[in-house]
Structure 1
Amino acid sequence: MSSAHAIEVLLRPAVELYSVAVCAAAALLCVTAPWALALDPLLGLGSALGFLTFGAVRLRQAWVILRYRRNIRRLPRYWMRSRDVPVSAQRLFIGRGFRWEQRHTHRLAQTYRPEFRRYVEPPALQRLARRLEARLEFAPPPLARLARLLAWDSPLNPVRPLPPLGGLPRLHGIEPQEVDVSLPLGERVGHSLVLGTTRVGKTRLAELFITQDIRRRVNDEHEVVIVFDPKGDADLLKRMYVEARRAGREGEFYVFHLGWPEISARYNAVGRFGRISEVATRIAGQLSGEGNSAAFREFAWRFVNIIARALVALGLRPDYLLIQRHVVNIDALFLEYARHFFAKADPKAWEVIVQLEGRLSDKSIPRHMVGREKRVVALEQYLAQARTYDPVLDGLRSAVRYDRTYFDKIVASLLPLLEKLTTGTIARLLAPDYTDLADPRPIFDWMQIIRKRAVVYVGLDALSDAEVAAAVGNAMFSDLVSVAGHLYKHGIDDGLPGARPDRKVAINVHADEFNELMGDEFIPLINKGGGAGMQVTAYTQTLSDIEARLGNRAKAGQVIGNFNNLFMLRVRETATAELLTRQLPKVEVHTTMVVSSATDSSDIHGATDFTSNAQERISATSVPLIEPAHVVALPKGQCFALIEGGTLWKVRMPLPAPDPDELMPADLQQLTAQMRQRYAEAGQWWSGTGSPNDGLPTDLTEDWPPAEEGKDGEARP
């Protein structure tokens, strides 16, 4: 075998088969005609056994060569049903692959040499079959059947087409010895970043991770799973519910979807907080803070903070509807809080205010209070004379004293944001009525979700309204940051009997297309959330998406720097590929060079007319472990994983095998059916198929009893 030599060459004829043939013939001769070799029958059997043993060794060596050559062109299929996904309490299963080392770089470099081209490229017969298949596509029926026969995806087809995965199979075929690749759960607290262009397997990898997170039990407890899906993937929602039901967690499964608020759970992004100022931060934090907008953002923060403090003092839970109502009309809140305050502090004050109101006329109203109600003007005059101090009342008074026209200008940037969050049916979704017992839709908050170890699917309907999706996503991230801070300080059982401050639970946050959701609040979530058990797995296409969202290269670098685990699928941007390749060392690869020369003799009478020389030189060249071009050429469903402190693994995820699933509730059936009709879903990423008009699979529409589970319908995991 070549592995014993300085240069390993596996792209070559399997010459070991000659030895196998000779050994087989010699063994047959020793058994059938031992006398031909001057052996008696007993020695003939012993000699045959020796030949067969040596032939088996050579056959194994030949099989290594043949398997290597086959994998360079076509990898064996790797299927797995969702119920067969291994779930460990110690590690996160990723797929099958190998640790990338120097020898793999050397093998990959050999595949690009012209003398090995015939082992790498498809054979001529297969290329001819593909050309015939293309030409016969629109031929008459007899010839059209021939085209289908050529495209028959079966091992019995000698010209079987390659799987429609694209890319270069050699990137994974250079190592036939695959192992299961997994990530220790202790490394997930460092967060994971998945990069890959569209339709290359990001959603499949997300399903693989989410399946394990839902079914995992650590210390006899499930983990929290929160999935943000901006675009809305019906298959992902279905997979989450099926896995939750398989794990016995369907009672802890919540669906929040902006596209279908009538069947969605309800959520108040500003209703729960540790400090009252968090309400203003979550709302004003979504406004632009660049340039001249910074001053308006600060005023909006102060104004929302004043309103939130007043609402809490009145015993009301802040929500977007209440805040918008009082931003538009601050006078009503000013009067309401004044009644509340004077009813306790000075019951007779209101009589004086009413008398002042009666004396007012249009000419006596101060210029800056023109346009305000007379009672508001009278209340302001009373407060100017009375020695009454209340921080909330003083804040409301300072807001009322602004000129009405000037006030409308400085809150102009705040109103569009609130309009996005309080328009139509979304208002009742984001500002739930806690007293409406007739509404069957549940109301949740993140602390409740974490304590219940629940599973949450958040569909933000970004394809319909990206602005609202980004605003709600940012608010949810801000709320998660606040909850993470509370958990870090007080633990998950704060306020409960027998609370243990040191008790933590893993909170798995999966953010698909997270560049559409993130803002400045995402940075502290990944920077400091690990101490509270937050384990963020973010999925996006390129680094430029993050930079474009944040509008700042330094902040984009700050976000990327907080991800310890990197999964790089096929990308189209070189800068994104270099995020991986620049972190890898250079290695030496050996190359051979054949040198031949001939020298004529100058002595015409000598015995030597010329001398010749032939040499084979071995040289070493320093090259990167992998190049950005290799990342760009990855097949679908494959990735480079930089995990466990910079260890590079080449991984391929399992393809989803047909797997009978359980029945979903009627409302979720309706939701997934509408998502399939309205959204251009991912479809079967490994085959390039899938249409936004595809119907719902039979396992979601047939009302078969649980006893017949596994007989009807097939669904991808």
Structure 2
Amino acid sequence: MAHSVEVLLRPAVELYTVAICTAAATLCLVAPWSLALSPLLGHGSALAFLTFGIIRFRDAWTILRYRRNIRRLPRYMITSRDVPVSQQRLFVGRGFRWDQRHTHRLMQTYRPEFRRYVEPTTPYRLARRLEERLEFAPFPLSRLARLTSWDTPFNPVRPLPPVGGMPRLHGIEPNEIDVTLPLGERVGHSLVLGTTRVGKTRLAELFITQDIRRKSALGEHEVVIVFDPKGDADLLKRMYVEARRAGREGEFYVFHLGWPDISARYNAVGRFGRISEVATRIAGQLSGEGNSAAFREFAWRFVNIIARALVELGQRPDYLLIQRHVINIDALFMEYAAQFFAKTEPKAWEIIVQLEARLNDKNIPRNMIGREKRVIAIEQYLSQVRVYDPVLDGLRSAVRYDRTYFDKIVASLLPLLEKLTTGKTAQLLAPDYADLNDPRPIFDWMQIIRKRAVVYVGLDALSDAEVAAAVGNSMFSDLVSVAGHIYKFGVDDGLPGVASDVKVPINVHADEFNELMGDEFIPMVNKGGGAGIQVTAYTQTLSDIEARIGNRAKAGQVVGNFNNLFMLRVRETATAELLTRQLPKVEVYATSLMSGATDSSDPHGNTAFTSNTQDRISSTSVPLIEPAHVVGLPKGQCFALIEGGNLWKVRMPLPAHDPDEDMPKDLQELAGYMRQRYVEAGDWWDHQAGPQLQNTELPADLAEGSLQMANADEEKKG
């Protein structure tokens, strides 16, 4: 059985045929008599030679283009205005579907006989070496380096783009097509993996641009929610520019912990389906390892008691109220008891006042020492009168604890609440709904979904990673609760005269999502698709997810719910194997030259020896791609496992940046601040927190005092 082995790394020998055909066609036109042809037959022969020459030139051009792409890919840039937006598919980039042919071609590039077609040419290496030496040369000579480094097609030794990696991974297929993902597949969620500075955020820009501008058949936009822990100014700017281009700037919200003066406000515990969700969102931020688990359960119980009491009193829970009542639960106990007795037993207060008057240091129970006398009197009254109210019983059990003991068991909760309610951050997370003079909008997720809004959530993780994680985790918990409500009752539940069963796509983009996720993220990716939530998560490695959750099985549970995988360059082999282990093995063919000679055993014969030469074709089973290929990806390129396990090799375009003038002045200032504070994703948690903008000015009395101290020090030195 004969096998044809494709070899594209070779000299373009078809050009010899093209030259002969061109010369023959010229001779047929100019001197047909030299070939014993009439002028008419000469024209026909010239046409035949030219036709054959064109066919062979196309074959030669395929070889030449393939060899060029192996070393340097052509540029691929499009402006953001030209990003295709479809109602059916999500545009990813340009590329090709990877199959056995491409594995075969890639294996050939590693063979020593093809090295000269893959490695940089000798003039290229000499030009780079000359640039290194001319860097420290005197002035006139140092300018010569600009000639060799001139980035233009007319420069035969121009440098490669600073993307690193191996261009051959994409150059093995010259015929690219647009790679797209059907929108119906996005409900299965997408995971983008890649190490620092290889294009994850730029890929997010591409996806978010399309999500913001996409319209349904009914003319409605989609919900876009972006979580950005680090704070990428270009991403914020891209979102605003695209929202304005789509006519949605009125539906654009910016929530940023590091810039509270212009940020929208959000109450992470103000909306819930069940009251117990408030305690879950707060206590869920506490450590549950070892002995801390018991303290977390105590904290959950007391926050739940406080939240139930606040709701019964007609107050909306927020971090400030919960902190206030955790520190002093006596006030809440008295306030709730006053309301309860006013409804059920109006004369109870007379007895309580009498009991309070009889109290002194001698007859106060030991466990109630330090409590207010009114609290003790209410407790004594309730112990005499059988009254059943679950909220009142919960508050009563809390105040019966010894004050010192109570402070100890909620000690782990107070630092978290302090972080969430310190400075101007409290205005964002515990908004005053009655303050009509505050222009900053207040939003919740149901409102955002109904308005089809665009939300940018900047968590300023560099300043305080713990607060960023707590707020982001609370937002995820709130979003899971809203998704459950939508799944059961629909988006328009409770609105008068509206009965729509249309599912609204909710596009959630979570950059560095491993720093924000908790146990509640699992039901979001597992069951959120039923409510229209489409999660696109971005992170560096699988270990980041496992380290955050603290459980390998749960980390595998999270990853197993992502149907679409985009793998950029990674540095962890285990992460690369998440892709490569899901791919089959294929057969690749290789040719080998076999030659030999055999001496004749007959000394009197006419044949002294016999020789033979053979071309053998052997096949080898190899993986479709290896982890080393994922590690060697250039920036801006990825392998995409989409549509039920189809492997695509993709390179993404970089949308052109729009000028800052397209943004309002306050957002321009915010973008400038974010650029100054931006840190690469792999390092932001190791940096010390920078100065908070909201705390840069001291109060007048403190500033005056510090100035006096400084003057006194100067006098002493003098």
Partner secondary structure for residue 94 of structure 1:
strand
In 2, Cα distance between the equivalents of 1:449 and 1:527? 22
Contact 1:477-1:522 at 8 Å conserved across structures: yes
In 2, Cα distance between the equivalents of 1:661 and 1:144? 35
For residue 298 of structure 1, report the CA deviation from its aligned partner: 1.5
Partner secondary structure for residue 438 of structure 2:
coil
Report the residue type matching 2:231 in the other structure. G
1:571 aligns with 2:560: no
1:133-532 equivalences under 5 Å are 133-219=131-217, 220-500=219-499, 502-532=501-531
Q: Could you tell me which of 77, 99, 102 is aligned with 1:101?
A: 99
Partner secondary structure for residue 655 of structure 1:
coil
Q: 1:428 to 1:658 in 2, by over 3 A?
A: closer
Report the residue type matching 1:368 in the other structure. N
In 2, Cα distance between the equivalents of 1:657 and 1:41? 57
Q: For each residue in 1:215-272, what CA deviation from the matched residue of structure 2 results, as whole angstroms up to 9, or x when unmatched?
A: 0001210000000000000000000000000000000000000000111000000001
1:556-595 equivalences under 5 Å are 556-595=555-594
1:647-666 equivalences under 5 Å are 647-657=646-656, 663-666=662-665
Contact 1:256-1:457 at 8 Å conserved across structures: yes
In 2, Cα distance between the equivalents of 1:498 and 1:110? 67
Contact 1:216-1:222 at 8 Å conserved across structures: yes
Give the unaligned 5+ runs of structure 1: 683-691, 693-717
Contact 1:110-1:116 at 8 Å conserved across structures: yes
In 2, Cα distance between the equivalents of 1:282 and 1:66? 61
In 2, Cα distance between the equivalents of 1:466 and 1:320? 18
Paired position in structure 1 for 2:701: none
Report the residue type matching 1:481 in the other structure. V
In 1, Cα distance between the equivalents of 2:87 and 2:373? 67
In 1, Cα distance between the equivalents of 2:678 and 2:538? 19
Paired position in structure 1 for 2:694: none
In 1, Cα distance between the equivalents of 2:191 and 2:366? 57
In 2, Cα distance between the equivalents of 1:162 and 1:390? 75
Q: For each residue in 1:286-340, what CA deviation from the matched residue of structure 2 results, as whole angstroms up to 9, or x when unmatched?
A: 2222222222211111111100010011110000000000001000100011111
Contact 2:513-2:537 at 8 Å conserved across structures: yes
1:23 aligns with 2:21: yes
In 2, Cα distance between the equivalents of 1:659 and 1:604? 88
Contact 1:242-1:662 at 8 Å conserved across structures: no
Contact 2:237-2:660 at 8 Å conserved across structures: no
For residue 660 of structure 1, report the CA deviation from its aligned partner: 5.7
Report the residue type matching 2:74 in the other structure. P
Partner secondary structure for residue 144 of structure 2:
helix
RMSD (Å) for aligned C-alpha atoms: 1.3
For residue 497 of structure 1, report the CA deviation from its aligned partner: 2.3
Stretch deviating more after TM superposition (386-395 or 660-669):
660-669
In 2, Cα distance between the equivalents of 1:118 and 1:268? 63
Contact 1:234-1:681 at 8 Å conserved across structures: no
1:29-40 equivalences under 5 Å are 29-40=27-38
Report the residue type matching 1:530 in the other structure. G
In 2, Cα distance between the equivalents of 1:423 and 1:68? 61
Contact 1:81-1:659 at 8 Å conserved across structures: no
Partner secondary structure for residue 80 of structure 1:
coil
In 1, Cα distance between the equivalents of 2:372 and 2:203? 60
Paired position in structure 1 for 2:714: none
Q: 1:283 to 1:659 in 2, by over 3 A?
A: closer
Contact 2:241-2:658 at 8 Å conserved across structures: no
Partner secondary structure for residue 275 of structure 1:
coil
For residue 6 of structure 1, report the CA deviation from its aligned partner: 1.5
Report the residue type matching 1:76 in the other structure. P
Q: For each residue in 1:620-649, what CA deviation from the matched residue of structure 2 results, as whole angstroms up to 9, or x when unmatched?
A: 110000000000000000000000000000
For residue 603 of structure 1, report the CA deviation from its aligned partner: 2.1
1:126 aligns with 2:124: yes
For residue 662 of structure 1, report the CA deviation from its aligned partner: 5.7
For residue 680 of structure 1, report the CA deviation from its aligned partner: 3.5
Contact 1:193-1:566 at 8 Å conserved across structures: yes
Report the residue type matching 1:450 in the other structure. I
Partner secondary structure for residue 53 of structure 1:
helix
- Name the TM-score, length of structure 2 as normaliser: 0.93
In 2, Cα distance between the equivalents of 1:607 and 1:176? 55
Partner secondary structure for residue 93 of structure 1:
strand
Report the residue type matching 1:490 in the other structure. F
In 2, Cα distance between the equivalents of 1:671 and 1:608? 91
Report the residue type matching 2:417 in the other structure. L
1:609 aligns with 2:608: yes
Q: For each residue in 1:60-113, what CA deviation from the matched residue of structure 2 results, as whole angstroms up to 9, or x when unmatched?
A: 000000000000000000010000000000000000000000000000000000
For residue 661 of structure 1, report the CA deviation from its aligned partner: 7.0
Paired position in structure 1 for 2:710: none
Contact 2:230-2:679 at 8 Å conserved across structures: no
For residue 364 of structure 1, report the CA deviation from its aligned partner: 0.4
Paired position in structure 2 for 1:533: 532
Paired position in structure 1 for 2:551: 552
Q: 1:555 to 1:544 in 2, by over 3 A?
A: same
Give the unaligned 5+ runs of structure 2: 682-689, 691-718
In 2, Cα distance between the equivalents of 1:148 and 1:141? 12
For residue 659 of structure 1, report the CA deviation from its aligned partner: 5.1
- Name the TM-score, length of structure 1 as normaliser: 0.94
Stretch deviating more after TM superposition (366-375 or 621-630):
366-375
Paired position in structure 2 for 1:715: none
In 2, Cα distance between the equivalents of 1:258 and 1:661? 22
For residue 657 of structure 1, report the CA deviation from its aligned partner: 3.6
Contact 2:195-2:540 at 8 Å conserved across structures: yes
Q: Which contiguous aligned blocks of 4+ residues in structure 1 show a shift greater than 4 angstroms?
A: 658-662
Paired position in structure 1 for 2:713: none
In 2, Cα distance between the equivalents of 1:657 and 1:158? 27
Percent identity at matched positions?
Answer: 84
1:673 aligns with 2:664: no
In 2, Cα distance between the equivalents of 1:582 and 1:50? 52
Report the residue type matching 1:647 in the other structure. N
Report the residue type matching 1:17 in the other structure. L
Contact 2:100-2:588 at 8 Å conserved across structures: yes
Report the residue type matching 1:444 in the other structure. F
Paired position in structure 2 for 1:598: 597
In 1, Cα distance between the equivalents of 2:653 and 2:566? 15
In 1, Cα distance between the equivalents of 2:105 and 2:230? 40
Stretch deviating more after TM superposition (55-64 or 664-673):
664-673
Report the residue type matching 1:197 in the other structure. T
Partner secondary structure for residue 498 of structure 1:
coil
Contact 1:490-1:501 at 8 Å conserved across structures: no
In 2, Cα distance between the equivalents of 1:658 and 1:92? 21
Partner secondary structure for residue 217 of structure 1:
coil
In 2, Cα distance between the equivalents of 1:626 and 1:405? 62
Partner secondary structure for residue 46 of structure 1:
helix
Partner secondary structure for residue 218 of structure 1:
coil
Partner secondary structure for residue 523 of structure 1:
helix
For residue 408 of structure 1, report the CA deviation from its aligned partner: 1.1
